[in-house]
Amino acid sequence: MSRHPWKIHNAEGTFRVIVTKTLPGRRWIDLLTTADCRIEVCSDSAVLDTEIIKAAIGHQCDGAIGQLTEPWGETLFDALKAAGGVAYSNYAVGYNNVDLDAATRAGIPVGNTPGVLTETTAEMAVALTFAAARHVGEAERFLRAGRYTGWLPDLFLGTLLHGKTLGIIGAGRIGAAYARMMVQGHGMQVIYHDLAANTDLESFVADYNRFRVSQHLPPVVCRRAASVETLLETADCVSIHTVLDDATRHLIDARRLTLMKPDAILINTSRGPVVDEVALVDHCRRHPDFRAGLDVFENEPKMAHGLAELTNVVIVPHIASATRWTREGMATLAACNVAGILSKYPLWQRPDILPFLEKDPPHAIPSIVNAKALGLSGQGGLDVKFK
């Protein structure tokens, strides 16, 4: 197939499905096997380029599961279509690496894996927030280097977040979950910016305030900001949870960084290119009290020059969704997307996808992001064409 190692499961399966990375757990393999799939998995940790994936698709391939690190565009979807393919799933909730128009032109449904990353990613945003606010990375390096000689009154003085103002850019499922964690755990005020009002989040905070008042605690505020600029000027900590598209690329640039408080905290667990990384490096150098926590980077796996050396930036290697439950759940959903299409199941019509993680998953396809463009509905099986 290629110089990269590939492992085969259920070699006698009728449908051939390629998977460009080894996925956690075993259940996803069992689900594809039950759907009578021959599963070919690349066990190399290197990112596969387009030509290698195209060669892996070959002349006969019914479906594929790919990664957010791979550019799935016209070349690959045309190759998949030419090989008789009818199914693709991204092993991610986001799909900015996928050219949906190209997939739609090729008639290929594109699946993703929503609903299992929410709490996990929000927890990582919380972890980065406090790691940045309390100098955790810097203090650990200090200690491991043998530089700690005893307690001092002014050693690594951080920021108290309790009661401060939290800014959320993108108040979808993950942003709202992060807000709830910070409101309940730390009594933070919330200002958020989103294209639409998140009335569920606002109602949650209103309900929570009734409890706070009953405990003789001051109520907290949750309000929508009219602009990103207003949010940046107001918040003590800003966490980004937006999608990546033309409107959000470099949403946080040099100009907007200057609007933030000089000792503010910026957290990004969404997509790297939402932040102008070069501008961030310059801003952090010029404002030593400003802090950032990053799980994603503009040109992964590379980082902007100087970023890794900044002591006021906490960096982790894109692990926001890295809990075993979540990553295995993502694998299950990706497999259910492909297996469901090949089995001609209908689309799932409920927002809750957790039934797919139970012992007997529904005979349905969890999530197809270009379903409307393809004219697909939840009634009956998908009208896919087989060789």
Structure tokens at 95: 């799909």
Helix (H, G, I), strand (E, B) or coil at 40: strand
> Which residues neighbour 361 within 8 Å (Cβ) at sequence distance 6 or greater?
31, 332, 336, 355
DSSP-derived secondary structure for 155-181: TT-----TT-EEEEE--SHHHHHHHHH
Catalytic residue numbers, as ranges? 271, 300, 318
Phi and psi, residue 238, nearest 5°: -120, 125
- The alpha helices in 222-378, defined as continuous H runs, are 228-234, 254-259, 277-286, 324-342, 371-374
State the DSSP code for 117: S
The label of the residue with tokens 């596969």 reads 48
Residue 302: strand pairing partners: 299
